Amino acid sequence: MVLDVKYLKNKIITKGMTTLFIFTAPMLAGNMLSVVRKSSSILEVQFQNTDLVDGLQFSLRSSSDIALSTPGRGDRVLEPSWIVESYKPNDSTVNVLILNLQQEWLESGSGSLIRLSYGSRETAKESYVTPAGVIVVTPQCDSLNVTVDGLRWSDHPITTEAIDNNRSFILEQNYPNPFNPSTVIQYQLSAVSDVRLSVYDMLGREVTTLVNGTKEPGYYNTTFDGSKLSSGIYFARIAVQSEDGGKQIVQIRKMLLTK
């Protein structure tokens, strides 16, 4: 489906922003829209594109425990020629429209589109913020395929800072990411531990086990080969338990395989 950017531009100029139009769009590999948590109270919607882009439209939807604020501009749309409008029908939904009224487009690149704060209204087992109804169009008003990457986290997330303080372990982000066909996963242990490092797909199925055994303190890296897998999002999951039988700790990193 093609978004009529000219119609939306005329509506903004002549009547003002009254609502946002939400359509469905194909979600395939290529350009990517993702939600990233910058701190315990700040989110960014980041966009990576290889095609010229003249307009975007999407909604952010959160779990019931998360209250979203009105977003501000990100670094990719700071110029006055970019119109960034938002509408909040409720605390868990923010509709966003980004257009350029001049012949200035988003060149190939990556960075943030919007930045917003959020708050927790109650305790939840799992929280999420995810994009929906995503439309990205070219200067010719052609619709582009987009990969959408939402964000989920537990009520007590294991962060790198917490791991450092506890002197337990760190699972680094894989590199490169996105990758094709292989990527390196690195982790660090501060004590002798039983380690299981596995990769899962989006359906929660274990794809492979990379490490399963007792490891001495130190830095380790292992290679994940996705040559026999299809494009998509995968998760590196490490479970670490100290030899003294302490509590098992789990950390997960998101990985993107593109072909």
Contacts of 172-179 spanning 24+ positions with Cβ under 8 A:
172/253, 173/253, 174/224, 174/236, 174/253, 174/255, 177/255, 177/256, 178/255, 178/256, 178/257, 178/258, 179/226, 179/255, 179/256, 179/257, 179/258
Give the chain's end-to-end CA distance (angstroms, integer): 24
- Reported pTM: 0.54
**What is the CATH code for 5-154?**
2.60.40.680
pLDDT at 101: 81
Per-residue confidence of the chain (259 residues) as pLDDT tens digits? 333 444 454 444 333 333 333 333 333 346 888 888 887 788 999 998 989 999 999 999 998 889 999 999 999 999 999 999 999 999 999 999 999 988 889 999 889 999 999 988 776 667 888 888 889 999 888 888 888 878 876 554 444 344 444 446 788 888 888 888 888 888 888 888 889 999 998 888 899 999 999 988 877 888 899 999 999 999 999 988 876 666 778 888 899 999 8
**What is the CATH code for 160-257?**
2.60.40.2550
Domains 5-154 and 160-257 share a fold: yes
pLDDT at 251: 86
Can you say how many angstroms the Cα of residue 163 is from the centroid of all Cα atoms in its chain? 22
Could you give the CA distance from residue 235 to residue 220 in angstroms, rounded to a whole number? 18
pLDDT at 98: 96
pLDDT at 14: 35
Could you give the CA distance from residue 202 to residue 177 in angstroms, rounded to a whole number? 16
Contacts of 37 (CB under 8 A, 6+ apart): 43, 151, 153
Could you give the CA distance from residue 165 to residue 111 in angstroms, rounded to a whole number? 30
Can you say how many angstroms the Cα of residue 252 is from the centroid of all Cα atoms in its chain? 14
Domain range summary for the chain, segments of one domain joined by +:
5-154, 160-257
Q: Are 168 and 249 in contact, with CB atoms under 8 Å apart?
A: yes
Could you give the CA distance from residue 253 to residue 65 in angstroms, rounded to a whole number? 23
